[in-house]
Every structure is written in structure tokens, then in C-alpha cells.
Copies of this chain bind each other. A is one copy, B any other.
Amino acid sequence: MFQETQPRYVWHFEWIDPERFIGLAIRKIHFIGYSKYQFVEVVDLPVYGKTLILDGKVQSAVTDEWMYHEALVHPVMLTHPNPETVLVLGGGEGAVLREVLRHKTVRKVIMVDIDEKVINIAKKHLQEWHRGAFNDPRVKLIISDGREFIEKTKEKFDVIILDLTDPVPGGPSYKLYTYEFYSTVKENVLKSDGIIVTQATSCAASPKVHAMIHNTLKKVFKKVRTYNVHIPSFHTIWSFVTASNKWDPGSLTPNKVDELIEKRINGELKFYDGETHVAMFSLPKHVRKFLKEFKEIAYDKKPPLLPM
């Protein structure tokens, strides 16, 4: 929309903290406004293209959302021997759904998101993300607080995917990163041989928050694994944690990953394969050290909170 030779007038500031921000010229506005829960921007950014931003934080950009969503979904889905039922908390863009539905084993996906307006905005403006996934007959969409849902539901799932916004003070998500939450997940909604994965902020940008999530899951589950992906539009590396009493994606060999992709996923992946798997699950020395040394656990009364 903006002409190439013009100075840039409208900017998005992604504040990391009061002393650091990333300034991004907005090339086109699809939507800017409030939902009931958060401040929503769908804008075209330079290089990153169309981007969803919630409460000032880039959630996913069309040019690299596939890195994030393939990384979030496929390791746990392929580690589980036969994932038929999947619960997704968050994931308003519909791209987690999209990736889950590519798995031939999947029969049923329940997606629970608190923010109906974001989903409606996604349906209208983020077709590149969901690509019709909301209309798949295997999908059931429930507008609800995720915490409430897992406390009340009678269903159990093979795989649970937590695609939540970051835990920030007053935000809609911080109660979905605590010991109480994960305990309820394990007891109430995950099958005994199931596996979960959560986005877990960044072991580089917010190592303590990441480590708290990792530690808290470790207090609840037997096998817990951190892995990392660099997402260009996040301007940092992003971390995820898997947890299960039975499965550990870290034990998959590259060849096994390639074989499972071939056998169980429809279409071709752009980001994830055996070598990518190795890159993600191999952690630098200082990260391993920090995870070993930092002991804090997150509770409802003391959730893991990012500064902004």
C-alpha cells in the first residue's frame, strides 16, 4: 500500500521491555482494534508480510508461521503412535488445526479458544493460515476459557496442543502455564499414554519464564523435553516443551522422523523433517545448564510472567 519512496508514517512498536522495542512500519491495515480480551492487529509488515499481533506481540506472520506451526504440531503428533483425538487450546489463527488435520490418523479435533472475535477476524483475514480448517468435519470449535474447559470436560485426548499467548500480567493466558493447570490436564483430559506440547516463550529472551514452564511440566510428567526454533518475525528463538508419561520426541532418529512424515502426513512440509528435528531438539550447552540449575515452579499464585 505504501509507496516505496515515502517516509514511513505508521509504525508498530513491539515492546520487549521499557528499554527495548522493535519498530516495524505498517504497510497495510487489515484490522486494528480491541476484542473483549486483547488488542488485535492484522497488518502487513515489511518482509514478514501479513501478521497477526495480539497485545502488541507478533503471534504469526504469513512468511514464517509455517515454521512455528509445523514445529509446534508435528513432533508430538508423530511421536504418539496413533493420535486420533486432539485437543487444541488457543491457536486462533486456525493454523494448528490445519497442521493437525494433515495427520491421516486424526478423527477428532476439539479447539478451545477464549476469544471469539479473534477467531472471526482469523476466518476473515487469515485465510493463508487456516485454509478452511475451521470447516473440516473432524473439527469442533468451542469458545471458552481453556482452564474452565479442561476442568469440566469429560473427554480425554491422545494429544493436547497448547498454542497460547504469552503469560503476561492481566492477559488471558497466564493461568494455563501453572502446576495446577498441568495437573488437571494430566488427570482430567490427557489419556494415560497421551502427550502434550506447549509453546513456552523463549529460552533466549525469557530464560526464567521458559525454565519455569519446563520445570513445572517436569513436576507433573515423567518425560519432558524443550526444543527450539528460530522464527524471524519474532526476532528471537522460540521454545516449546513436550510432556508425557510415556513418549519423548527427543528419542526419534532423523530417519524415523522422515519415515513417519512420509507415512502419516498428507502433503509436503516446508520446515520439519529429520534434520530439522535434530536441529530443534539439540540444545546449546548453556541452555542445558540453565535448565538444570533454575529450579522455580509456576503455581496459580505465582505464575510465570513476562515483563510486557
Contact = CB atoms under 8 A, between A and B. Distances in A.
Nearest 5 interchain pairs by C-beta: A279-B282, A19-B46, A19-B25, A9-B56, A235-B235
Interface in A16-54: 17-27, 29, 32-34, 39, 41, 46-47, 53
A233 to B, nearest CB: 10
Given A33-B1, A230-B204, A230-B230, A22 B235 contact: yes
Contact of A275 (B1, B8, B22, B288): B288
Interface residues of A, number: 60
Interface of A: 1-2, 6-15, 17-27, 29, 32-34, 39, 41, 46-47, 53, 55-56, 67, 204-205, 228-230, 232, 235-237, 269-273, 275-276, 278-279, 282-286, 288, 308
A11 B27 CA distance: 13
A285 B275 contact: yes
A10 B10 contact: yes
A115 to B, nearest CB: 16
Contacts of A27: 19
A297 B85 CA distance: 50
17 contacts: A1-B33, A2-B39, A10-B12, A10-B41, A21-B22, A23-B23, A29-B32, A204-B230, A205-B232, A228-B230, A230-B236, A230-B237, A271-B284, A272-B285, A279-B279, A279-B283, A282-B282
Contacts of A232: 204-205, 236
B20 A13 contact: no
Given A13-B8, A22-B22, A285 B271 contact: yes
A284 B276 contact: yes
A10 B32 contact: yes
A170 to B, nearest CB: 8
A284 B279 contact: yes
Nearest to A7: B15
A122 B59 CA distance: 35
Given A19-B25, A29-B32, A286 B308 contact: no
A284 B2 CA distance: 33
Contacts of A24: 19-20
Contacts of A235: 22, 235-236
Nearest to A71: B284
A62 to B, nearest CB: 14
Nearest to A1: B34
Contacts of A10: 10-13, 26, 32, 41
B9 A19 contact: no
B286 A270 contact: yes
Contacts of A230: 204, 228, 230, 236-237
